[in-house]
Structure 1
Amino acid sequence: MTLPMPRPVFDANASSGGFGNLPEWDLRDLYPAPESKEFAADMDWLETACADFAAAYEGKLAGLDAAAMLACVLAYEQIDIVAGRLMSFAGLRYYQNTMDSDRAKFIADVQDKITTFTTPLVFFSLGFNRLEDAQLDALIAANADLARYKPVFDRMRAMRPHQLSDELEKFLHDESVVGASAWNKLFDETMAGLMFAVEGEEEELNLEATLNLLTDPVRAKREAAARALATVFDKHIKLFARVHNTLAKEKEIHDRWRKMPSPQHGRHLSNHVEPEVVEALRNAVVAAYPKLSHRYYRLKAKWMGLERLQVWDRNAPLALEAPRVVGWDEATKTVLDAYGAFAPEMAEIAKPFFEKGWIDAGVKPGKAPGAFAHPTVSTVHPYVMLNYLGKPRDVMTLAHELGHGVHQVLAAGQGELLSSTPLTLAETASVFGEMLTFRKLLDQAKTKAERKTLLAGKVEDMINTVVRQIAFYDFECKLHAARAEGELTPDDINALWMSVQAESLGDVFDYMDGYETFWAYIPHFVHSPFYVYAYAFGDGLVNALYAAYADGLPEFEAKYFEMLKAGGSKHHKELLAPFGLDASDPKFWDKGLSMIAGFIDELEAMED
């Protein structure tokens, strides 16, 4: 089971005072406590169930009739649920305080046990993929309940050309806890432990608190934060380079053995998206850099009275009105009202998150940075993590993560194996929820300055989500290609980073010494290679969807809920067809990018 990735913006950290009563997770819906009898019983059940499953089905899949195959799939699904529940509990506790050695030991031990218990299950996908197409088609035709799982089978069988022998697959499964997983933990624990001496601050700050200063209204504070980040990253740059070198090399070895045609191919397979669709997205965004980020940042420089921008100005707030702290109650009402205005059902699904301990919002020592929504398993409910600091941007983050939560609740009806949504579609409800909230705030804007601030904030978020993530994707492509040729020095990686930053941000920026190391703190590169394009995919898809909604597409709300309820049971072509959209059409991406360009047009038109 995969633990979640944080949202890719500066969702910051410092102190949780002054925002009202911030909610904390109640993880008892998963298990009462780490030492509870329920947790121990499920762990014992999992060990027995995995061994029994292997004894019942290993080497026998080809001889099963449709009813027996359905029983096999249902047994596998139940194992998936229990393993996911155990790992979710351990993972969420760990994210609440990554510096707690007891929690770190607990998650490591749980992961070790689950890996050991589930190693006998490796045969299942391998044996299933050896079934002849005609035999599988006959089984599916004979049993409607089994036919429900065809999307799962299709995704499994997409790996047929890339699977190894049973023995090698079991070895890789066993070895994973001391491979990528171990390097991931080293990265997480190192990042959580970094402290930054920021000039002007009384105490050293952690990573999130320091990143938060990059959005401070005072330019000197932003510069001090940027320089403190650069100083600390440089001190640890050899470690971060070693993490990236090792993970990229491990991936190259696995990809070579699996005969993957490119480093990105495995991600495309898991996302159930064609490489040419991703390439069309990437090319459309890169071609749009001049009319999006380049143009916007030149405009921002003008607003700030500067001829040149420094990297610490990229996320600077506009000085059009005094910074405002948004209390938690106001943030809650804003998001729920926006959801309810679109569809009352959406607000009703979202309410339990606030009322039942499904959100952890406060900033606490050792807590994981950023924000995420984790679906846990289809028989429980999702949990949302924030680092809430009362900024207007934090309200958007709440709307975003709550959208994930609503999506995960709706998709859970598909069951464990069918509820999981590919990354490319997983951002749909989150970005749509964010857009609903933004539009509501924009409609309520009382002054030109307020409207301008909201528009500029939205453009910056969209640039962070689209332009910045595609630049990240290009950086990863370059990194993995270069690592295939040999070991990379920190300077090598720094140069790759700067090549994409200059291209994506435009010619109005100057880059301070030390900015070349800022690749080091991006967790996506470590945890999930090539994950990042999913954000751009989701933003472009939602912009096209929202345009259809704004144009009054008949029964849009009903179609939208059906799309979310589908989870991972349908391909993106099938999901988008009711809206008259097709992501494989290169022109599709221009629609979404045009929305961003339109917001910049409006900002330019506001100039006196």
Structure 2
Amino acid sequence: MSIDGFSGWSHHYDTIAGKIEVPYQNADGHTTTLSAGQALNQLTGAPQNATRDHLMPAYEEAWGAQESIVGDTLNHLAGFRLQNYQLHHVDDFLKRPLELSRMSRRTLSTMWNVVEANKDMFIPYMDRKAALLGKDHYDWQDQTAPIMVDGYHSQSLSYDDAADFIVTNFNKFSPKMAALAQRAFDHAWIEVEDRPGKQPGGYMVELPERQESRILMTYTGTPDDAATIAHELGHAFHYDMVKDLPEMRRDYAMNVAETASTFAELIVADANVNAATSVGEQINLLDAKMTNPVAMFMNIRARYLFETNFYKERQQGLVTPARLNELMLAAQKWAFSNHLGTYHPHFWASKLHFYIDDIPFYNFPYTFGYLFSLGIYAKAQADGGDFEERYIALLRDTANMSTEALAKKHLDVDLTQPGFWQNGANLVRKDINRFIELSDPFVK
């Protein structure tokens, strides 16, 4: 029944999103029309404030124009899911997401409590970034905006140079991970052509019959593109380490699926910062590294708060687009400590993750995976020689036990207690302090 119901609504969203058009005025004053994906690329990467500030209301308006039909889609997709739960005598809509992540509600609550307790550490960072951008307020569209100070301007990094950089730095932590990356580059497992019609972001797919992986993305020469390659290669390495196991032991949950990818991305992000040849470049790359914790502590947090409140209200009946906007705006204000100059009330409409049918609550596993990887990264830096063997053992167990048991066995930590999560937050705080210190000379 779900093919034309549950999955049908999810596919229907893809159809709607593919028709979204956003008017865009380029630097010479010529107005063009962008797809939703093209507009999002500009919003997340354009270095000019005017470009992002002009495009944000147009992007919000374009999704707002479709709010009725998108709202129907979200309501019916969630309604199908809730009715399915009810028919199986399940009245807790978080039960299935937690089962899929093989984690307890206590672990989830502890993680979010630590996130909530530490979110205000981002306020000085947001204020400083706004000042460096020459703005009075940090806006929604500034979350991934690049910073250019001290005469620094982003330079294009060739694909071959990015490949060499990734392999070299992977090798410092795991020769086997470096070897897998080198094989992927040598045998063209990564499709990176910059051409029209491609979706933003990156994606790794397994080829079980060949016991190989393929990565699909667009490479434009930015450090963020190199980080995306590293992220997807982390997924490929995870698969490479479990491909010989029985099928059920390869079926790891989404929260730990982000472990190897985020770990690989952390390696490259730190290496980028440390390889900077000027203060301006170091500030730019450190800010690029900060986009991850901002997303995990604040943006993802807003998605979780919105979705939780939406599902509570959806249990009582249909939720109107106006109410969806209210719920999203409230969630964003709470998660960002009411510190943004501009918000995105129609984020519930523009974000694909809310319309994925096979994994409910496609949000908290990202924050879990990020903080879990921070803990692994800290151990990698401290443990030295025998890290690789123990890291591979952890990856091979990711589909073999609960998340709590995995952490206890391989990291000797209790995920139901705040200590592990707070250690991750402390690492983020160090980066914030370093960012503030380095950028002090460049603010008035």
TM-score (ref. length: structure 2): 0.92
SS at match of 1:196: strand
- 1:267-306 equivalent positions in 2, closer than 5 A: 267-292=97-122, 294-306=123-135
Identify which range, 561-570 or 595-604, moves more after superposition. Answer: 561-570
SS at match of 1:198: strand
Change (3 A) 1:203 1:223: same
Determine the C-alpha separation between the residues in 2 that align with 1:392 and 1:419: 31
What runs of 5+ residues in structure 2 fail to find an aligned partner?
none
Determine the C-alpha separation between the residues in 2 that align with 1:421 and 1:379: 20
**Alignment-mate amino acid for residue 436 of structure 2:** E
Identify which range, 254-263 or 539-548, moves more after superposition. Answer: 254-263
The question of 1:493 aligning with 2:324 is answered yes
Could you tell me which residue of structure 2 aligns to residue 150 of structure 1? Answer: none
Determine the C-alpha separation between the residues in 2 that align with 1:348 and 1:371: 21
Q: How many residues align?
A: 431
Match of 2:13 among 187, 207, 213: 187
Change (3 A) 1:436 1:221: same
Could you tell me which residue of structure 2 aligns to residue 197 of structure 1? Answer: 23
Report if the CA contact (8 A) 2:22-2:58 is conserved: yes
Report if the CA contact (8 A) 1:467-1:536 is conserved: no
- Superposed CA deviations along residues 158-217 of structure 1, whole A, max 9, x for unmatched, are xxxxxxxxxxxxxxxxx1110121111111122123222112355322222211212211
**Alignment-mate amino acid for residue 236 of structure 1:** Q
The question of 1:590 aligning with 2:396 is answered no
Determine the C-alpha separation between the residues in 1 that align with 2:67 and 2:121: 34
SS at match of 1:177: coil
Report if the CA contact (8 A) 1:404-1:429 is conserved: yes
Q: 1:578 offset after TM fit, Å?
A: 3.0
Report if the CA contact (8 A) 1:412-1:567 is conserved: no
Could you tell me which residue of structure 2 aligns to residue 362 of structure 1? Answer: 193
Could you tell me which residue of structure 1 aligns to residue 433 of structure 2? Answer: 601
Q: 1:508 offset after TM fit, Å?
A: 3.5
Could you tell me which residue of structure 2 aligns to residue 414 of structure 1? Answer: 245
Determine the C-alpha separation between the residues in 1 that align with 2:229 and 2:293: 16
Could you tell me which residue of structure 2 aligns to residue 311 of structure 1? Answer: 140
Could you tell me which residue of structure 2 aligns to residue 526 of structure 1? Answer: 355
Change (3 A) 1:272 1:378: farther
Identify which range, 581-590 or 390-399, moves more after superposition. Answer: 581-590
The question of 1:248 aligning with 2:74 is answered no
Report if the CA contact (8 A) 2:18-2:36 is conserved: yes
The question of 1:211 aligning with 2:40 is answered yes
**Alignment-mate amino acid for residue 58 of structure 2:** A
Determine the C-alpha separation between the residues in 2 that align with 1:227 and 1:562: 48
SS at match of 2:23: coil
Q: 1:479 offset after TM fit, Å?
A: 0.9
Identical aligned residues as a percent: 23
Match of 1:265 among 95, 114, 118: 95
Identify which range, 388-397 or 400-409, moves more after superposition. Answer: 388-397
Change (3 A) 1:270 1:311: closer
Determine the C-alpha separation between the residues in 2 that align with 1:531 and 1:181: 15
Change (3 A) 1:322 1:206: same
Q: Over the residues paired in the alignment, what is the CA RMSD in angstroms?
A: 1.9
Match of 2:298 among 457, 467, 472: 467
Determine the C-alpha separation between the residues in 2 that align with 1:256 and 1:242: 20
SS at match of 1:551: helix
- 1:450-461 equivalent positions in 2, closer than 5 A: 450-461=281-292
Change (3 A) 1:378 1:599: farther
Could you tell me which residue of structure 2 aligns to residue 45 of structure 1? Answer: none
Match of 1:222 among 48, 52, 60: 52
- Superposed CA deviations along residues 136-162 of structure 1, whole A, max 9, x for unmatched, are xxxxxxxxxxxxxxxxxxxxxxxxxxx
Report if the CA contact (8 A) 1:471-1:504 is conserved: yes
Report if the CA contact (8 A) 2:296-2:370 is conserved: yes
Report if the CA contact (8 A) 2:207-2:214 is conserved: yes
Identify which range, 476-485 or 580-589, moves more after superposition. Answer: 580-589
Report if the CA contact (8 A) 2:16-2:70 is conserved: no
- Superposed CA deviations along residues 419-457 of structure 1, whole A, max 9, x for unmatched, are 121111111100110111112222222222222221111
Please identify the structure whose Cα radius of gyration is greater. 1
Report if the CA contact (8 A) 1:211-1:225 is conserved: no
Determine the C-alpha separation between the residues in 2 that align with 1:404 and 1:465: 19
Determine the C-alpha separation between the residues in 1 that align with 2:337 and 2:125: 10
Determine the C-alpha separation between the residues in 1 that align with 2:136 and 2:383: 43
- Superposed CA deviations along residues 6-56 of structure 1, whole A, max 9, x for unmatched, are xxxxxxxxxxxxxxxxxxxxxxxxxxxxxxxxxxxxxxxxxxxxxxxxxxx
Q: 1:537 offset after TM fit, Å?
A: 0.3
Report if the CA contact (8 A) 1:540-1:592 is conserved: yes
Report if the CA contact (8 A) 1:378-1:413 is conserved: no
Q: 1:232 offset after TM fit, Å?
A: 1.2
**Alignment-mate amino acid for residue 238 of structure 1:** S
Change (3 A) 1:363 1:178: farther
Q: 1:399 offset after TM fit, Å?
A: 0.8
